[in-house]
Amino acid sequence: MNSTETEKKIMDSSPQRTVDLVKVRPAPQTAVIKFKETFQKFTLRFIELKDRLPSLNFIRERYPAVDYNRVFVFISSMSVRYKIAVTLVMVLALAIASLGGVTFSRQKKLLEDEMQKRGEVLVQELANVGKEGLLTKEELGTFSTIKDIQKNSGVVYAMVVDNQGKVYVHNMLSEKGKILDSPLDQNSFKSDRLLFQKSVYQGEPILDASLPIVSKMKNMRIGTARIGLSEKELRDSIQKQKIIFSLISLGFVAIGLLISFGLSRVLTQPIYTLAVGMHEVAQGNLSQQVRVFYKDEIGKLTEVFNQMILSLREKMHMEKYLSMSTLVSIKKTRDHSSLRLGGEKKYVTALFSDVRGFTSMSEKMTPEEVVEILNIYLNVQGKVVLQRGGAVDKFVGDEVMAIFEGKDQEINAVRAAVEIQCFCKALNSSRMRLDKKQMQVGVGLNNGDVVMGNMGSEEQMNYTVIGDTINLAARLCSTARAGQVVISKAIADVIGKEAKLRKLEPVMVKGKDKPIEIYEVIEVSGVSRKYMRRLVEVNALYHLIGLTDELNNALVKNIGPTGCLLEASSAIGIGSRLEVEIDIKVLQTNFKVQGVVRHLRKKDAKYFVGIHFDELLEKDKDHITEWVHRLETETPQRSPA
């Protein structure tokens, strides 16, 4: 091989080699080898995790200070709005980061290739001049070329080194004659082709380009030409681009954050509205409907929810036409496909009440007036029966039929009957002073076995009770005079010493061969109130008599003409005298009254204080009595616009 061919081979720049002396790069491997090694590492790591998990949670052992339950609860309890916003921003940030990584990697590769091409041209020029200088031992031409090369931007150094590793010509005269033996220099001496190496020169990252100088005549290598190009400009350019890209990315993330919050608000606002509606329904308020904002899936869900409210409202209204025993029967058989006719034997106490002189009274009144006054008295009786554990089976005109199911319920039925008479008497007294119509009722009670179940036809049925016990109770009700409670001997024998009774003359009733022994109830234990009370939730202020500056807040739970029940945050001694100011808006005035504490009961962190009012003026007492018995008429609810 001649010298020309040898020089051409040595000067050939393809392929080129790049050695990074700052960070040693791994030897190239095939894709198959890399995949096998990665898979083996993953398998070993998985086995390690599997071995550690059964004993204890290795993550908790490694990071014991982290409360993972609290972290999970915090993340799971975050608002959907924030979850959507965080998710969208994370996706946007990942997309921007991926795009930036690919872009900067590609840009860096292009700039590095451009720098290598530039270094190749410069080092080729230096090698041509350096060869002549080494052969002729004339340094001036080579030094002049080096100075011209240094005028190019980014050139840190330029030199020609002889075959013994001694600096022949350098841009710095002080470096001339030095022997170079660093790893960077050794690599350049050993390379037989164009070589690029990354290193650091005087604290500055550089790209060193070296090219062998070969003499054609001697057919041998006589030296090496080397150029050092600064990478600072390259890195500064990339850094500026990164800063600009980061600022633009932050702008897009901020815009994405605003868009995500706006979108999440659009999505979650109907959900919040629907949740408020559900809360109202859970509290028993079926008067409101949720406004439908959109026609999407959430809008359809809202429409279904509104339809459910209407259905529940219809069901609630229909339940008022059914007796409590009927509702209980339906709940028991709701899992079956249909209700069936039939009944079962049960022990009950039956209560019948009837208005005296109702026919003659109704002839002198308009139908509207009859219905209004009759509902007031029927409402009193229904509430008393319910509070005493009974259930109204039906209202038949001016008659009430109530059932107390089970043994030992006779005393509760008798107490309900006595309370009905007491409340009706107090109501009549107030209505008389207010110049309003009054009604008098008679009550009859009997106990015994009955048949309770579904009666009627397959198309329409009624859950009720039948039997001789019911018939006798109805007959006793007919016997009772206005304000009187008449019971059978069977009930009198059961309640015994719990009541004060007066024996009446035996009466003959239809269907009985012998007279029936009956009794009138004069008094019964467990009945102390003469006036009915109304369940309310009304704010009040109270203070001990003589301590007017120490006002306390309370909540009135029920109230009547003679007393009320307060829910307070602190205990009040029995026998203490109070002045209470109650905010009853219906009365159009703040009701202020003095009273004495009769009883005290604690439940959870609240105190329930029973207060008996001092004697009120008759007009005030009548006014409160009329309000307590006033019926709440329903008004149609308008759907939201």
Q: How confident is the model at residue 5 (pLDDT cuts 50, 70, 90)?
A: very low
Q: Which residues pair with 207 in a beta bridge?
A: 198, 229
What is the rounded distance in angstroms from the CA atom of residue 349 to the CA atom of residue 329? 18
Of 112-126, 531-545, 586-600, 603-617, the poorest mean pLDDT is in 586-600
Instruction: Using DSSP bridges, classify how beta strands 499-503 and 342-356 pair: parallel, antiparallel or unpaired.
Output: unpaired
pLDDT for the residue numbered 328 = 59
Token readout for 193 is: 């082709």
Statement: residue 443 has pLDDT above 90:
yes
DSSP-based three-state secondary structure for 219: coil
What is the rounded distance in angstroms from the CA atom of residue 614 to the CA atom of residue 593? 7
Q: What is the DSSP letter of 547?
A: -
Q: Check if the beta carbon of residue 209 is closer than 8 Å to that of residue 123.
A: yes
DSSP-based three-state secondary structure for 45: helix
Q: How confident is the model at residue 23 (pLDDT cuts 50, 70, 90)?
A: very low
What is the rounded distance in angstroms from the CA atom of residue 476 to the CA atom of residue 332? 33
Residue type present at position 290: V
Burial class (CB within 10 angstroms; exposed 0-12, middle 13-18, buried 19+) of 477: buried
Q: Check if the beta carbon of residue 185 is closer than 8 Å to that of residue 165.
A: yes
CA angle 426, 430, 433 (to 5 degrees): 140
Mean of per-residue pLDDT scores for the chain: 79
Range of 44-53, 373-382, 446-455 with top mean pLDDT = 373-382
What is the rounded distance in angstroms from the CA atom of residue 118 to the CA atom of residue 116? 5
Q: What is the mean pLDDT of residues 609-625?
A: 84
Burial class (CB within 10 angstroms; exposed 0-12, middle 13-18, buried 19+) of 221: middle
pLDDT tens figures, 149-176: 888 888 889 999 988 889 899 888 888 8
Q: Report all structural domains of the chain as residue ranges with CATH numbers, in order of start.
A: 3-15+79-235 (3.30.450.20), 340-524 (3.30.70.1230), 534-621 (2.40.10.220)
Please tell me which residue, 109 or 20, carries the higher pLDDT value: 109
What is the rounded distance in angstroms from the CA atom of residue 513 to the CA atom of residue 509? 8
pLDDT for the residue numbered 332 = 57
Q: Check if the beta carbon of residue 477 is closer than 8 Å to that of residue 420.
A: no
pLDDT for the residue numbered 218 = 66
Element (H, E) at 633: none
For 548: left if phi > 0, alpha if psi spans -120 to 50, otherwise beta; the answer is alpha
Q: Smallest Cα–Cα separation from 414: which of 439, 446, 459? A: 446
pLDDT for the residue numbered 232 = 81
DSSP assignment of 95-113 equals HHHHHHHHHHHHHHHHHHH
Please tell me which residue, 472 or 12, carries the higher pLDDT value: 472
Please tell me which residue, 514 or 265, carries the higher pLDDT value: 514
47 contact partners, CB below 8 Å, separation of at least 6: none
Q: How confident is the model at residue 330 (pLDDT cuts 50, 70, 90)?
A: low
Q: Where are the beta strands (DSSP E) in 202-333?
A: 204-215, 220-230
Statement: residue 394 has pLDDT above 80:
yes
140 contact partners, CB below 8 Å, separation of at least 6: none
What is the rounded distance in angstroms from the CA atom of residue 416 to the CA atom of residue 40? 84
Q: Smallest Cα–Cα separation from 484: which of 436, 400, 414, 431? A: 414
Q: Smallest Cα–Cα separation from 277: which of 253, 301, 296, 258? A: 301
Q: How confident is the model at residue 485 (pLDDT cuts 50, 70, 90)?
A: very high
What is the rounded distance in angstroms from the CA atom of residue 323 to the CA atom of residue 326? 5
Q: How confident is the model at residue 26 (pLDDT cuts 50, 70, 90)?
A: very low
Please tell me which residue, 605 or 297, carries the higher pLDDT value: 605
pLDDT for the residue numbered 342 = 62
Instruction: Using DSSP bridges, classify how beta strands 563-568 and 606-613 pair: parallel, antiparallel or unpaired.
Output: antiparallel
Q: Which residues pair with 18 in a beta bridge?
A: 196
pLDDT tens figures, 43-101: 666 555 545 444 445 555 555 555 556 666 666 666 666 777 777 778 888 888 888 88
Q: What is the mean pLDDT of residues 336-351?
A: 75
Provide the angle, in degrees to the nearest 10, between the axes of the packed helices 410-433 and 367-387: 140
The owner of tokens 């616009």 is 641
pLDDT tens figures, 404-442: 988 889 999 999 999 999 999 988 888 888 888 888 999
pLDDT for the residue numbered 411 = 93
DSSP assignment of 173-201 equals GGGTTPBP-SHHHHHHHH-SS-EEEEEEE
Q: What is the mean pLDDT of residues 596-620?
A: 87
pLDDT for the residue numbered 291 = 72
- Neighbour count for residue 392 (Cβ, 10 Å): 19
> CA separation (Å) from 398 to 4, 123, 355, 386, 442?
132, 120, 6, 18, 11
Token readout for 280 is: 């109202």
pLDDT tens figures, 235-293: 787 788 888 888 888 888 888 778 877 777 777 777 777 777 777 777 767 777 777 76
pLDDT for the residue numbered 460 = 64
